[in-house]
Amino acid sequence: MVALTDVERAMLDGESGAAIAKAMDLLIRYADALGADRFVETDNVAGVPGSSPQWVKDYYAADGGDYRAVFSRFDLDSDEVVDVPRMNAFSCHLQGGMDPELWREQGMSEAAHGNFVSDSAQVEAHGIQLLKTCTPYLAGNMPVMGEHCAWMESSAVVFANSVVGARTNCEGRESTSAAMLAKRIPDWGFHRDDFRKGHHSISVEVPVDSIFEWGMLGYYVGDAVQDTIPVITGAISDANLIRHKHFGAAAASSGGVEMYHMVGITPEAPSVEAAFGGAPRGERFVYDAAARRRIYDTLNSVGRSTDVDYVMLGCPHASIEQVAEIAALIEGRKVHVNSALWVFTSRAVKANADASGYTKILRDAGAYLMTDTCSAISQAVPKGTKVAALDSAKQVHYLPAMMGIEGWYGTTAECIDAACTGKWQGRLA
């Protein structure tokens, strides 16, 4: 049984209101299911509080069918509808279902957009930051080493744990919504030192030095270690935030990696010994030329036709450096009449791209810079899409399977070429 402090007991007893009592009740059930014996305080929560498509609201029609009903019954698993106050923790909203301006281009209906606007107003009124991105760390929410967070979104979780050294499990909608109110999350899993030790070794024997290569290595690592913690050594270079972003997202897709150690690169892995922390060293995997070839072929196994009618970039949401690179690659060119190019990012990065002229360069080329969502989350692709080209191992893992389309994986430059020629010409150098 989880032990409660006096403050937590008072919250459970309703001294801070009914919604916080319901939040504590949910968190206690969650902690007991995990076997946690205490809570940690958190003041950094990322989730999708109360947001829902209309059919979820309709499901709770008898309770009013509104934000309050969904937050109470769905988010808090409450047996009654309660008033939902402003959140107590610093809270941000992750990605959602459509672009706030380009929703028509995404094929969304007026009714769906109306629901989106109404949810956004509620989120804002409850004191939640509308970051609307899978990369909150690129949009104003960068935690620090050791900070206890409660985040959803697998690519953001693996980034926070591994690259920053912050502490979060891969939370769900219910636990994050409750944590926003109670500022608590079970002291379990990645919040604890003993959970953060490496399990298996990955030896990298081919150069991994670009977003494309880091993405493929991430996909290999996830497939190899599944949901355990890899300790990676060898020929990895040119580490930067974007490469980590693509590596972690891929590792969380092919496996369930929520934390990785790169020796000499990530903060809790100054040495192999430190990364394992005295824990038994499991299997050793080797990423060599044959493994690289196998991963490339796997990522391209759903590509048949070289006629590309959709190019999607920005998974996880593009950084400003990536938007700048895309603008440089497409400036003076045009998206082919048989193709489309959608680039996804956060509102914060788009504001920067607008001010820097990149959005206009993309529009002049016939491409769109979109925010808040992506094709996998919104299940929106240009009408008639049969073949997509992607520079994200995560997105090629999900989008073709979700939408029943073909998909190619390549470099950002190969994807831009495909958008401008309508033809896939990618190859493994």
8-state DSSP, 62: G
Q: What gap in Å lies between CA 206 and CA 235, rounded to an integer? A: 6
Q: Which long-range contacts (CB under 8 A, 24 or more apart) does 122-127 make?
A: 122/50, 122/67, 123/49, 123/50, 123/51, 123/93, 125/86, 126/49, 126/50, 126/84, 126/85, 126/86, 126/87, 127/86, 127/87, 127/91
215 binds ligand F3S (CB under 6 A): no
Q: Three-state DSSP class for 32?
A: helix
Residue 253 binds ligand F3S (CB under 6 A)? no
Q: How far apart are CA 251 and CA 163, in angstroms?
A: 14
Secondary structure string (H, E, C) spanning 301-344: CCCCCCECCEEEEEEEEECHHHHHHHHHHHCCCCCCCCCCEEEE
- 344 binding ligand F3S? (CB under 6 A): yes
CA neighbor of 409 nearest in space, from 214, 268, 263, 240: 214
According to the binding rule CB under 6 A, does residue 374 interact with ligand F3S? yes
Q: Which residue lies nearer to ligand F3S by CB, 173 or 333?
A: 173
Which positions from 255 through 274 interact with ligand F3S, judged by CB under 6 A?
A: none
Torsion sign, CA atoms 203, 263, 322, 395: positive
212 binds ligand F3S (CB under 6 A): no
Q: Are 409 and 311 in contact (CB under 8 A)?
A: no
Q: Which stretch binds ligand F3S (CB under 6 A): 68-76, 102-110, 235-243, 313-321?
A: 313-321
Among 134, 236, 302, 326, binds ligand F3S (CB under 6 A): 134
Q: Is 397 in the site for ligand F3S (CB under 6 A)?
A: no
- Cβ 390 to ligand F3S shortest distance, Å: 10
How far apart are alpha carbons 343 and 139 in whole angstroms?
16
Rounded Cα gap, residues 239 and 208, in angstroms = 9
249 binds ligand F3S (CB under 6 A): yes
Closest to ligand F3S by CB, 188 or 344: 344
234 near ligand F3S, rule: CB under 6 A: no
Cα distances (Å, whole numbers) of residue 296 to 187, 253, 302, 398, 400: 39, 15, 11, 16, 16
Would you count residue 322 as binding ligand F3S (CB under 6 A)?
no
Options 23-31, 83-91, 224-232, 309-317: segment touching ligand F3S (CB under 6 A): 309-317
Residue 320 CB, nearest approach to ligand F3S (Å): 16
Residue of 44, 52, 72, 95 interacting with ligand F3S (CB under 6 A): 95
Binding test (CB under 6 A) with ligand F3S, winner from 115, 120, 122, 155: 155
Closer residue to ligand F3S, CB minimum distance, 204 or 349: 349
- CA atoms of 122 and 105, how far apart (whole Å): 25
Q: Which of 315, 329, 348, 418 binds ligand F3S (CB under 6 A)?
A: 315
* Using rule CB under 6 A, residue 377 touches ligand F3S: yes
- The reply to whether 317 sits near ligand F3S by the rule CB under 6 A is yes
Per DSSP, the residues of 363-375 read HHHT-EEEES--H
- Residue 11 CB, shortest distance to ligand F3S, in Å, is 32
Determine the interface stretch with ligand F3S among 65-73, 85-93, 192-200, 370-378 (rule: CB under 6 A).
370-378
The contact set with ligand F3S (CB under 6 A) reads 95, 134, 155, 249, 315-317, 344, 374, 376-377, 394-395
